[in-house]
């Protein structure tokens, strides 16, 4: 059998090798400290003398760091999951004790490897079953979704503890049959709010903001009008849409009263033309709350624009800079932002309204409420971070601020249950695109679903699709 790899002679200090279950799990570490210090890496079940390491369901690792026991290794050959051969030249040919110790260690390694391989085989079979079930359901569900002629294309990312899987169906445009890719860029619409909420969580963790203090003190000016009978808006009420703020600034109530009008997008776009940060700060002085903070829930984009203003003052940087500093750059999200560079614009899918017409891009003042663009590949990185609840920011942003973990609201996120498991989600819809992010934190699984239409029910259809794929993965592995 041809070996998976060959290692030529290396200096004996700091060498590591592993008996792999598959090519993908083969590892080689040669850094000066022997082990790569990756906090997310799987930790060994046990450590024996001379750094023999046993990993659950994956591989047995043996380090040659113990110079007194080990020979110079001239050649190492691994064959797929079956055997290992070494070419050796002993420093001291009379050192039989060292030889015996090494061969004993290698024999123990082989014994544990055999057990590990058996466990791994079952784990791999289960994972393959889950993957196959997900693939089948994703293809079927996407086919059903695209039977509705209002829908155009859809991109999906499935993120689990080990891998990311991408599924793309339909087209980036009605003008040509071009399937989207993980690098295709979509408008995130109100999923943007989860990014803004993550910044707010950073500010709270860092002691720059509080959830229940008077949020007016975080704003760049005197906004005493943002209170109801002396009761001020707070970060908690803004994040959960209990602040009493209007839906939009400028006021869009009259336009939303006739949302199905063919002129809806044109009227809303015209309302926001030329309305930037300066105009927002002025209009905010004339804004009146519609209910006492904490009394009634009413969806508010304006509330998230206010959060953005507070973040800029508390953290000393415009919102787009804060996004880059705290989220995009640390996560390696290179195709995400409020504006598009030329190469990114060429990857932007065309969005369509419920009448099949091409739609305009979001207004610049969509900002912290619904203004972000991103690729599916970038959003998969974001979801992987959102599943890392050991992170203080993520953990705080997922805690219930109203209701409870089974039926409540966190920092932008909706909280609920699916088949008895906690589920966290947020959707979005713009002039011509729809989005959903669905997280199953206990099962360490998350979904990104992006579509280039704003048809009736698209947001809900995307969430249903995520739930179907998740259910297939759970049942497929059982």
3-state secondary structure of 240: coil
More confident residue, 136 or 131: 136
| CA pair distance 276, 332, nearest whole angstrom | 29
DSSP state of 441: G
The pLDDT, as a whole number, for residue 127 is 74
The pLDDT, as a whole number, for residue 42 is 41
The pLDDT, as a whole number, for residue 364 is 79
Query: For 53-87, what is each residue's pLDDT tens digit?
Result: 433 433 434 444 443 433 333 333 333 333 333 34
Class of domain 148-476: alpha beta
- Checking if the pLDDT of 106 tops 70, the result is no
Q: What is the CA 163 to chain-centroid distance, rounded?
A: 12
The pLDDT, as a whole number, for residue 133 is 87
Look at the block and give the residue holding tokens 């504006």: 339
| CA pair distance 204, 120, nearest whole angstrom | 43
The pLDDT, as a whole number, for residue 71 is 38
Query: For 426-445, what is each residue's pLDDT tens digit?
Result: 999 999 999 999 999 999 99
The distance in angstroms from the start CA to the end CA of the chain is: 34
The pLDDT, as a whole number, for residue 126 is 67
Q: Which of 3-7, 132-136, 380-384, 448-452 has the lowest mean pLDDT?
A: 3-7
Query: For 281-304, what is each residue's pLDDT tens digit?
Result: 999 999 999 999 999 999 999 999
Q: How far is CA 196 from CA 193, 202, 226, in A?
A: 5, 10, 20
3-state helix, strand, coil in the chain (%, to 5): 40, 20, 40
Left if phi > 0, otherwise alpha if psi is -120 to 50, otherwise beta: which for 97? alpha
E strand or H helix that includes residue 202:
helix 192-205
Q: How far is CA 456 from CA 144, 224, 269, 370, in A?
A: 15, 39, 19, 19
3-state secondary structure of 15: coil
Region 441-457 average pLDDT: 97
E strand or H helix that includes residue 111:
helix 96-147
- Checking if the pLDDT of 158 tops 80, the result is yes
The number of C-alpha atoms within 13 Å of 174 and in the hemisphere containing its C-beta is 16
- Checking if the pLDDT of 11 tops 50, the result is no
Nearest to 80 by CA among 122, 117, 124: 117
Whether residue 250 has a cis bond before it, omega within 30° of 0: yes
- Checking if the pLDDT of 119 tops 60, the result is no
Do residues 72 and 86 touch, judged by C-beta distance below 8 A? no
The token pair that represents 331 in the structure block: 């996560």
The pLDDT, as a whole number, for residue 235 is 98
- Checking if the pLDDT of 141 tops 50, the result is yes
Q: What is the CA 335 to chain-centroid distance, rounded?
A: 14
Query: For 459-469, what is each residue's pLDDT tens digit?
Result: 999 999 999 99
Region 213-242 average pLDDT: 97
- Checking if the pLDDT of 49 tops 70, the result is no
Sign of the alpha-carbon dihedral angle for 138, 143, 149, 154 = positive
E strand or H helix that includes residue 164:
strand 164-170
Do residues 242 and 297 touch, judged by C-beta distance below 8 A? yes
The pLDDT, as a whole number, for residue 298 is 98
Do residues 411 and 201 touch, judged by C-beta distance below 8 A? yes
Mean of all residue pLDDT scores within the chain:
82
Within 10 angstroms of residue 82's Cβ, the number of other Cβ atoms is 9
| CA pair distance 387, 400, nearest whole angstrom | 16
Q: How confident is the model at residue 362 (pLDDT cuts 50, 70, 90)?
A: confident
The token pair that represents 134 in the structure block: 């997900």
Domain-by-domain residue ranges, the chain?
A: 3-123, 148-476
Q: Which of 65-74, 159-168, 257-266, 418-427 has the lowest mean pLDDT?
A: 65-74
Region 222-243 average pLDDT: 98
Q: How confident is the model at residue 375 (pLDDT cuts 50, 70, 90)?
A: very high
Region 304-325 average pLDDT: 98
The pLDDT, as a whole number, for residue 442 is 96
The token pair that represents 345 in the structure block: 């614009």
Q: Which residues, including other chains, have CB under 8 Å from residue 188's CB and lie 6 or more apart?
A: 370, 372, 373, 374, 379, 428, 435, 450
More confident residue, 249 or 100: 249
The pLDDT, as a whole number, for residue 36 is 31
The pLDDT, as a whole number, for residue 112 is 57
- Checking if the pLDDT of 21 tops 70, the result is no
Q: Which residues, including other chains, have CB under 8 Å from residue 181's CB and lie 6 or more apart?
A: 155, 166, 168, 376
Let me know the angle formed at the C-alpha of 80 by 75 and 82, rounded to the nearest 5 degrees.
85
DSSP state of 165: E
Alpha-carbon Rg for the chain, nearest whole angstrom, is 27
The token pair that represents 42 in the structure block: 């799987």
* pTM for the structure as a whole: 0.76
Question: In this prediction, what percent of the chain has a pLDDT beyond 70?
Answer: 73
Region 349-365 average pLDDT: 93
| CA pair distance 427, 444, nearest whole angstrom | 19
């Amino acid at each position: 059998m041809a070996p998976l790899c060959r290692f030529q002679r290396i200096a004996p200090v700091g060498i590591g090798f592993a008996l792999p279950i598959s090519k993908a799990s083969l590892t080689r570490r040669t850094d000066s400290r022997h082990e790569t210090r990756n906090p997310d890496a799987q930790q060994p079940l046990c450590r024996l003398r001379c750094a023999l390491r046993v990993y659950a369901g994956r591989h047995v690792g043996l380090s040659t760091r113990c110079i007194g026991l080990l020979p110079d290794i001239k050649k190492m050959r691994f064959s797929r999951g079956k055997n290992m051969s070494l070419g050796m030249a002993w420093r001291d040919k009379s050192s039989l004790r060292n030889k015996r110790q090494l061969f004993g260690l290698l024999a123990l390694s082989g014994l544990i490897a055999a057990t590990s391989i058996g466990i791994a085989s079952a784990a791999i079979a289960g994972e393959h079953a889950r993957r196959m079930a997900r693939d089948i359901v994703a293809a079927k569900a996407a086919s059903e979704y695209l039977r509705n002629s209002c829908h155009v294309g859809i991109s999906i990312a499935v993120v689990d503890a080990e891998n990311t899987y991408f599924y793309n169906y339909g087209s980036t445009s009605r003008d040509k049959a071009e399937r989207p890719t993980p690098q295709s860029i979509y408008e995130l619409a109100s999923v943007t709010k989860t990014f803004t909420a993550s910044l707010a969580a950073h500010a709270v963790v860092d002691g720059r903001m509080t959830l229940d203090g008077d949020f007016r003190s975080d704003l760049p000016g005197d906004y005493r009008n943002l209170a109801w009978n002396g009761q001020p808006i707070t970060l908690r009420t803004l994040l959960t849409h209990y602040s009493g703020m209007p839906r939009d600034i400028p006021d869009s109530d009259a336009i939303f009263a006739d949302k199905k009008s063919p002129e809806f997008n044109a009227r809303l776009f015209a309302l926001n033309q030329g309305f930037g940060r300066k105009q927002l700060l002025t209009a905010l002085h004339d804004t009146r709350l519609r209910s006492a903070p904490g009394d009634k829930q009413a969806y508010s984009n304006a509330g998230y624009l206010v959060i953005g203003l507070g973040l800029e003052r508390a953290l000393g940087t415009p919102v787009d800079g804060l996004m880059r500093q705290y989220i995009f750059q640390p996560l390696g999200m290179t195709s995400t932002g409020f504006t598009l560079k030329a190469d990114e614009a060429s990857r932007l899918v065309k969005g369509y309204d419920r009448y099949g017409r091409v739609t305009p891009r979001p207004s610049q003042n969509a900002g912290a409420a619904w203004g972000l663009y991103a690729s599916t590949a970038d959003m998969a990185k974001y979801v992987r971070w959102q599943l890392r609840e050991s992170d203080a920011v993520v953990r705080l942003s997922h805690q219930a601020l109203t209701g409870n973990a089974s039926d409540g609201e966190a920092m932008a996120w909706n909280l609920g249950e699916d088949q008895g498991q906690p589920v966290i989600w947020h959707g979005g819809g713009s002039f011509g695109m729809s989005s959903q992010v669905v997280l199953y934190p206990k099962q360490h699984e998350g979904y990104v679903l992006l579509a280039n239409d704003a048809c009736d029910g698209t947001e809900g259809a995307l969430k249903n699709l995520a739930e179907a794929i998740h259910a297939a993965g759970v049942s497929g592995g059982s």
